[in-house]
C-alpha cells in the first residue's frame, strides 16, 4: 500500500508558525465543550472558557492559537481536579472520532482496517507524526519506537508550566487510543508513561 493512502486531510491554515504565534487544532477545545456541558453544566463551561480567554468558540475548519486551548485544559485541571482526567479522556475520544470522520478519507479507513495490525500500526503512527500540528502546537512530536509503539511530545503546550505527581495528558492519550482502537486493534491501550508536568523531559505515550 502506498504511504499516501493514509493521508490525513489538513484543515485550512495548517502549519504551525506565523505572525499569530503557535497554533493547534480547534478540536482541543470544540470536543471538550459538549463534555463540559453534559458533566458540569453550561454555567461551569462558560466560566472555564472565560478563564481561558475564550470569548467565542473557534471554527472547526482551521487552526487556533494554542494559548487559550492550553489554558482551558489547565483551568479544567485546576478548578475540577477530581473530574478533569475523565472529562479530558472523553473529549479525546470525541476528537479521535472527529479525525476519523473528517480527516481520514473513507477509502483509507477501509484499507487500513483490512491490514494485519503489525503493518497497520506503524503506517498509522507515521501519519500521526506527519500531522502532529493537530495536537502538538509548538511542542515537538516524534515516533520514538515502532516495536513497541512509543510517541514522544517535547515541550507539550497543554501542560506547559504545570507541576503534578502523575501524568496529565489524558486528552492526548485518549486521542491516540481511539484512532488505534478503530483502525488497528480494538484492544490496544495507550498509556502515558512520563509527562513534562512531572519533571520529565517529554511526554511519552506507549501503545500496547
Could you read off the pLDDT of 3-24 as tens digits, one per residue?
344 545 545 445 554 435 899 9
pLDDT at residue number 19: 38
pLDDT at residue number 3: 39
- Crossing angle for the helix pair 66-79 and 42-51, to the nearest 10 degrees: 130
Question: Quick one: average pLDDT of 198-202?
Answer: 97
Task: Please name the helix (run of DSSP H) or strand (run of DSSP E) that holds residue 84, with its range, or none.
Answer: helix 84-102
Over residues 91-130, the pLDDT tens digits come to 999 999 999 998 888 998 899 999 999 999 999 999 899 8
pLDDT at residue number 125: 94
Return d(Cα 18, Cα 30) in angstroms, integer. 23
**Whole-structure pTM value:** 0.89
pLDDT at residue number 10: 47
pLDDT at residue number 2: 39
Over residues 127-174, the pLDDT tens digits come to 899 889 889 999 999 999 998 999 999 999 999 999 999 999 999 999
Return d(Cα 60, Cα 64) in angstroms, integer. 9
Return d(Cα 146, Cα 206) in angstroms, integer. 10
Superfamily for domain range 21-207: H-NOX domain (3.90.1520.10)
pLDDT at residue number 108: 87
Domain boundaries, the chain: 21-207
Amino acid at each position: 500500500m502506498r504511504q499516501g493512502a493514509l493521508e490525513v486531510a489538513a484543515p485550512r491554515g495548517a502549519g504551525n508558525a506565523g505572525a499569530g504565534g503557535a497554533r493547534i487544532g480547534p478540536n482541543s477545545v470544540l470536543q471538550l465543550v459538549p463534555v463540559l456541558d453534559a458533566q458540569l453544566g453550561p454555567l461551569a463551561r462558560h466560566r472555564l472558557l472565560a478563564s481561558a480567554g475564550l470569548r467565542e468558540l473557534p471554527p472547526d475548519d482551521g487552526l487556533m492559537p494554542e494559548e487559550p486551548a492550553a489554558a482551558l485544559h489547565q483551568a479544567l485541571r485546576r478548578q475540577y481536579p477530581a473530574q478533569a482526567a475523565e472529562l479530558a479522556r472523553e473529549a479525546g475520544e470525541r476528537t479521535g472520532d472527529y479525525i476519523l470522520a473528517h480527516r481520514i478519507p473513507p477509502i483509507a479507513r477501509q484499507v487500513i482496517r483490512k491490514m494485519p495490525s503489525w503493518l497497520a500500526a506503524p503506517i498509522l503512527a507515521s501519519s500521526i507524526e506527519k500531522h502532529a500540528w493537530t495536537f502538538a502546537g509548538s511542542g515537538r512530536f516524534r515516533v520514538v519506537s515502532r516495536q513497541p509503539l512509543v510517541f514522544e511530545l517535547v515541550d507539550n503546550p497543554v501542560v506547559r508550566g504545570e507541576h503534578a505527581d502523575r501524568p496529565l495528558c489524558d486528552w492526548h492519550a485518549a486521542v491516540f487510543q481511539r484512532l488505534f482502537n478503530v483502525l488497528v486493534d480494538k484492544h490496544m491501550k495507550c498509556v502515558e508513561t512520563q509527562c513534562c508536568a512531572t519533571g520529565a523531559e517529554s511526554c511519552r505515550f506507549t501503545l500496547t
